[in-house]
Structure 1
Amino acid sequence: MDIEKSLQFTNWLKKISLQFISEKDFERLDKTSIKLKFKKGEMILKQGNQPTHVAFLERGIVKFNFESESNKNTILTLVAAPKILGGANLFYKDNNLFSIIAVEDCEVVLLDSNVLLSLLTTYGRFAVAVYQIASDMFKKSIFNFISLANKQKEGRIADIILYLAENIYHGNSFNLSLTRKELAEFACCSTENIIMTLSKWQNENTIKITGKHLEITNIEKLKQISKIG
């Protein structure tokens, strides 16, 4: 993890903030924030720790990871930049419910929770905007759990491949950032299930895999697998 002393917010976050707060207050948020670089696999926020910052993902892809008491990992969702991470910590003051881990090299701005909460208290419309952005990510986690609860293995895996294409890589041809083990943790199945299912779909010309590269060659069939569960 590398720390940069100088901070320059992306236009995305600055544009959103200045719709609701003053330039002076934005500078206050800027000066109390830290920009960090995380390597793939490094932890950004740790499950069980007391939250002190809200993370803004400036570049890269991260996973929300829950570790059970039996040390079993479940990936709740994946998020691609630009996004506000851990916004729920402002409204839920207990320890972090999950970890946020880089699945590829990332750049993250850590926003001081106390300063941000002060601004949210002062600017009601800003609070609503941040809450809506944070809630959007948790909707995706909820939809994933609905899939897990109501679909069989192939339906769950199809949902994940479609989610990655639509929400993370924004296309039907992409290089997977996740390992087969992580895909299994996302779909709540075994690594062997992932390998066998992807191999089956490749033989059926539904997808094409070359190394880490995955291409959806028959998206209608994949959507049908998702639909029937």
Structure 2
Amino acid sequence: MRIEKSVKCIDCPLKCDIYLTAREMGLEEMLEPVYIFYKKYESICRQGSKIKNATILIQGNAKMFVSGHCSRNIILNILIPSNYIGLTSVYGLPDYPYSVSALEDCHTCQIENEALEQIYLQNEHFMKLLNHAFGSSVAAIMNKLISLNQKQIRGRVAESLLYLSRLYDSNSFKLSITRRELGELSAISEENTVRALTELRNEEIIGIDGRNIVLKDTETLSRISMNC
């Protein structure tokens, strides 16, 4: 982890909603952002630790996950640039309900909670933006719970592949996660993940070349993902 404090929001290539709203309110000087660079596999935050800052992912991909019994993890989301980490503090939750780990070298910007809360309470438009982001996150987690509770192995893997396709906006993409992590995204074992991928490849529904995935038949894959 490397910390850099001599940064200005105006010089950042990613103008987040926090900065844009603060500038509109004439409060940009109060932000005092800190850039933190994380290496691949480094922990960005840990489940149960105190939330001290709002974190914006500027560059790189990261995984958001929860840890359960017997050291088994469930990946909730793959985070991409412009995604936020730690917004739950605004809603009265002082601890991280999840962990976040870098899937590749990541650049983040961190802003103190006090500044975020002041903007949130004083600007209705910004309040609505954060409420929408929080609501969308909760809805996504609820849908995932339904999927994990009702779907069979092939359906879970199919849903995860379709999720990654939407995330990267392409039917052809390079996996930023391992087979084990794809299993954690689907809440199944690595062995079952590999078996399901092999079946889908043999049926020519997907193509696999190392970490490169091609969704050849998204219609069939969607049907599989809907089967309970």
Shared fold per TM-score greater than 0.5: yes
Whole-angstrom distance in 2 between the partners of 1:125 and 1:70: 43
Counterpart of 1:93 in structure 2: which amino acid? L
Correspondence for 2:35? 35
Aligned pair count reads: 226
How has the CA–CA distance of structure 1 residues 148 and 7 changed in structure 2, closer, same or farther, with 3 Å as cutoff? same
Correspondence for 2:160? 160
How has the CA–CA distance of structure 1 residues 130 and 17 changed in structure 2, closer, same or farther, with 3 Å as cutoff? farther
Contact map agreement 2:59 2:108 (CA 8 A) in 1: yes
Counterpart of 2:190 in structure 1: which amino acid? T
Correspondence for 1:124? 124
Whole-angstrom distance in 2 between the partners of 1:35 and 1:21: 19
After TM superposition, where is structure 1 displaced by more than 4 Å over at least 4 residues in a row? 14-17
Whole-angstrom distance in 2 between the partners of 1:171 and 1:23: 38
Q: CA deviation at 1:132?
A: 1.5
- Structure 2's unaligned 5+ residue stretches are none
Match of 2:26 among 24, 27, 40: 24
1:47 paired with 2:40, answer no
Whole-angstrom distance in 2 between the partners of 1:40 and 1:140: 26
Whole-angstrom distance in 2 between the partners of 1:101 and 1:139: 22
Whole-angstrom distance in 2 between the partners of 1:14 and 1:192: 40
Whole-angstrom distance in 2 between the partners of 1:222 and 1:123: 43
Correspondence for 2:93? 93
Provide the TM-score with structure 2 as the length reference: 0.91
Q: CA deviation at 1:140?
A: 2.0
Q: Percent of pairs identical after alignment?
A: 28
Contact map agreement 1:20 1:125 (CA 8 A) in 2: no
Q: Look up the SS of the partner of 2:71 in the other structure.
A: coil
Q: CA deviation at 1:116?
A: 0.9
Q: CA deviation at 1:143?
A: 1.6
Whole-angstrom distance in 1 between the partners of 2:115 and 2:90: 11
Q: Look up the SS of the partner of 1:74 in the other structure.
A: strand
| 1:165-197 residue CA offsets vs partner (Å, 9 max, x unmatched) | 002x11011110111111111111111101011
- Structure 1's unaligned 5+ residue stretches are none
Provide the TM-score with structure 1 as the length reference: 0.90
Q: CA deviation at 1:76?
A: 1.6
| 1:94-141 residue CA offsets vs partner (Å, 9 max, x unmatched) | 321111111122111111111111221222322221222233233222
Contact map agreement 1:20 1:126 (CA 8 A) in 2: no
Correspondence for 1:176? 175
Counterpart of 1:25 in structure 2: which amino acid? L
Q: Look up the SS of the partner of 1:13 in the other structure.
A: coil
